[in-house]
A and B are shown apart, each in its own frame.
Chain A
């Protein structure tokens, strides 16, 4: 089964528990807090995303407030609480990209894939997201797929980019 899209399973929780136990954390809240990002990385690795029950599991295991766990997840774009497709298409919405028509690009991706921002295609192949400025403003508008950057993207290119991964 594809771990990226499956419902969280007991075996996955067991793996995460083992990882956390393996860190050999002491009782001090600061020490446990310091391990949070590393644990969330691992959790996202295991589950593909960080749904509510995984967030709760991490909070309980690390004895940290759930709010703090969520705070970190929602702070970093890297973490996602929604299931992701096999390929992640992210469109930059920073000022430079916005000015150069990022919204049109987004619309085009949405139309072509038949989903909205933040959603996953029914075949679970693609998910669509946005980013804040990725520091490539000279290339605006920018689209990033699985870490690969596409610059000066035009709406027409959307279908081409998608085809690369289909």
Chain B
């Protein structure tokens, strides 16, 4: 249909508003309560227009188009109303633009300016509420609030934190946090969404106060360096200094984060500006790290690597790549290990988080990545989340699951020992005993099959291994599973029924499933469940491992793994080796033909098989299990090279330290949890004295005789593209707007949101018979508690970045252990009290948080805090297949500390 605005005809679709049509055609209609991401509100009347044949002025943001409508946006009546709206709002609040943080970025100010309003015509009594400064990162100045309601809508409907609402009524209406608490005492998680949508200066970032006016900064697009969601954001930069972050809103429906961020993305980048960034290389002399020139440091690193290689062979060198660096850099490290050193001892910290996923899913389905995409969450009928505290670890996606459940009627099952935020809104939440995942997963499958809820046609056509698999289920009777997992027979039945008969089911899991000595079995049990219900290869279904770091999917894709080159091409395959050798111009005979060491077995072999480690952007001295042992092992090395942005716990032990550039200072690609490859362009110049990771690798390679080693992101991406079939069709230009999901085999291929559609990558899906295996260390009389470890919302991994961020460390300044109230009473501690936690491997002192988030007998410790490092306690027993340590269960005891 057509409508006419100010004398010109425009195309319009039914259901569109007049505002939609105007915006699409660049016609100015101001809005204060309407925002593209919070939708229609019809509250402020800033957007009024005249419509021929309709009496009175109408709000364009709610006025739906009708064929042949004639609209005027600039009549005297319209202008007068606009003026009155603005004058009343200006008069009703304390709008002192001069001192306002939003000066220059305020939609009310813009309107006043455009209308030529110099000072308010009315004199009114204004509120006098005083700014609320209680929150770490956000200032609420309700005297400037124009009650547009955008913040309420976005907090409740976008990020789904449900903190804000309208309180009171009439003239007294005010925005409240929870039941009128100061923001800092409320359930607000400081995601900053409300600040981003607030049209005025009522909500502002505390951290940007006085730093710069909006017009003084440049906005640059970057990819968040934290979790695997891969949020696309814009950072404000002035004089090469990072100032604040906002989510990219333009075209955001096609971005992974749909315009949202979590507290880490929002307030987690000021580490970039820290004075303790490493800016000078260091070499250990007489036991101490001393400053050196780049030439000296590179020469030292190269010469010593050469020496180890000569004395002990290439297999004595190990390389740790990094899930926080780009694909290009991971590829470079992979090439360095294989072509320059001649070893397959290259790995990265995916070993510690999802190696069991990669092992388990590659064997059963043929690909170790998320089968479906995040935006499908609302298309599922049922979502099963297990072993993932999604709202803490993948917060933006956690919000999307909440959205699917609360606003799209998706049913949610959570199976988790902890009462997570998602558990609180789930239709079913069951707490399995830690380590009993194979039991409950197989038990549920046995019920599904016995009830006939499985999809036999799908199994017959698309899967294999049915007979043996079916036989192995016999062990998992409801009685047996109830005994092993603590989930009652009835509850197992409910899970089975809801997941198998509730429509398309998606399964999301994370480290609660993977970090076990039987992690690979756990993952295979998940794959079995999805296969027998026909939930793979369909929209809204899938088996979806949520990846924890910005580029952990990419680091795996790039072959920073001991068994594969990029694109999961096997190192044991001669044709593949020849292909890479030829491309790299090296002799294929010099390549290592066997599978190399993993991160965990390299540590184990320090001093024996392994004499030198080259560590890029990893911090095993915080992240690996059983740190006391790791420390002992690293000390046995002849050479430890650490390349990082801070002097991490691992760097402190190094023989040579190489200062690197951080994510926002480099160009390269990152692959998020849903296999979406996105480009991050350098937004800042790296601090003087640092170098790009890819340059450092190339510099060492050159000193080892590989002068032509590629040393730019473009050259490296070109190699990736040529040598990696699933990345063949990608170019930076194609990746730039929204990224592409692999496989993307040709330059006209649109990417692949859903894997295994008509057939499994592997051919037939493999149903795996499984047995129940107990965990390596279960609670006993000496250590009666069960200890599990993981993340918290505000911090990330070993804490080297987030603990250097003012707001994040302000919200969560110290380590803690979650203790159930009954256990707390027994040892007489309250929240905040000092406690000692001990295991057979170590002891830490930390603070108790008494909460029923954990059940009786369970302790939970986040691993980000060096002063109370959880990994001094954890068990380094490994899954025999994937070599992942058992972070999620060990035996511990807790006592009150002085």
Contacts and interface: CB of A to CB of B under 8 A. Distances in A.
Interface of A: 27-29, 52, 55-56, 63, 65-71, 73-75, 81, 132
A97 to B, nearest CB: 15
A63 B425 contact: yes
B409 A66 contact: no
25 contacts: A55-B179, A56-B179, A65-B156, A65-B163, A65-B165, A65-B178, A66-B179, A66-B187, A67-B162, A67-B163, A67-B167, A67-B176, A68-B165, A69-B179, A70-B165, A70-B176, A71-B166, A71-B167, A71-B176, A73-B179, A74-B167, A74-B168, A74-B176, A75-B169, A81-B179
Given A66-B187, A74-B169, A75-B169, 15 more contacts: A27-B427, A28-B409, A29-B407, A63-B425, A66-B162, A67-B163, A67-B164, A67-B165, A67-B176, A67-B179, A68-B162, A70-B165, A70-B167, A71-B167, A132-B170
B661 interface: no
Interface string B153-194: 000100000111111111000001111100000010000000
Contacts of A74: 167-169, 176, 180
Interface in B521-551: none
B896 interface: no
Interface centre among B164, B180, B409 (most CB of A within 10 A): B180
Contacts of B156: 65
B168 A67 contact: no
Contacts of A71: 165-167, 176
Contacts of A29: 406-407
Nearest to B178: A66
Contacts of A73: 179
Chain B interface size, under 10 / 10 to 19 / 20 to 34 / 35 or more: 20 to 34
Interface centre among B163, B165, B166, B425 (most CB of A within 10 A): B165
Contacts, number: 51
A51 to B, nearest CB: 10
A66 B162 CA distance: 8
Contacts of A67: 162-165, 167, 176-179
A65 B162 contact: yes
Contacts of A132: 170
Interface centre among B164, B169, B178, B427 (most CB of A within 10 A): B178
Nearest to B179: A70
A81 B162 CA distance: 21
Contacts of B187: 66
Nearest to A56: B179
Interface in B796-835: none
Nearest to B163: A67
Interface in B408-459: 409, 424-425, 427
Contacts of B167: 67, 70-71, 74-75
Contacts of B178: 65-67, 70
A106 to B, nearest CB: 17
Interface in B112-163: 156, 162-163
A80 B8 CA distance: 55
Nearest to B166: A71
B87 to A, nearest CB: 23
A47 to B, nearest CB: 15
Given A28-B409, A65-B162, A75-B168, A70 B425 contact: no
Contacts of A52: 179
A14 to B, nearest CB: 18
Contacts of B424: 63
A144 B503 CA distance: 57
A75 B179 CA distance: 12
B411 to A, nearest CB: 8
Contacts of B406: 29
Contacts of A66: 162, 178-179, 187
Interface centre among A73, A75, A81, A132 (most CB of B within 10 A): A75
Contacts of B407: 29
Interface centre among A56, A71, A75 (most CB of B within 10 A): A71
Nearest to A66: B178
Contacts of B169: 74-75
B402 to A, nearest CB: 11
B383 to A, nearest CB: 14
B180 A70 contact: yes
B262 to A, nearest CB: 19
Contacts of A55: 179
A70 B163 CA distance: 11
A87 to B, nearest CB: 25
Contacts of B409: 28
A72 B178 CA distance: 12
Contacts of B166: 71
Contacts of B425: 63
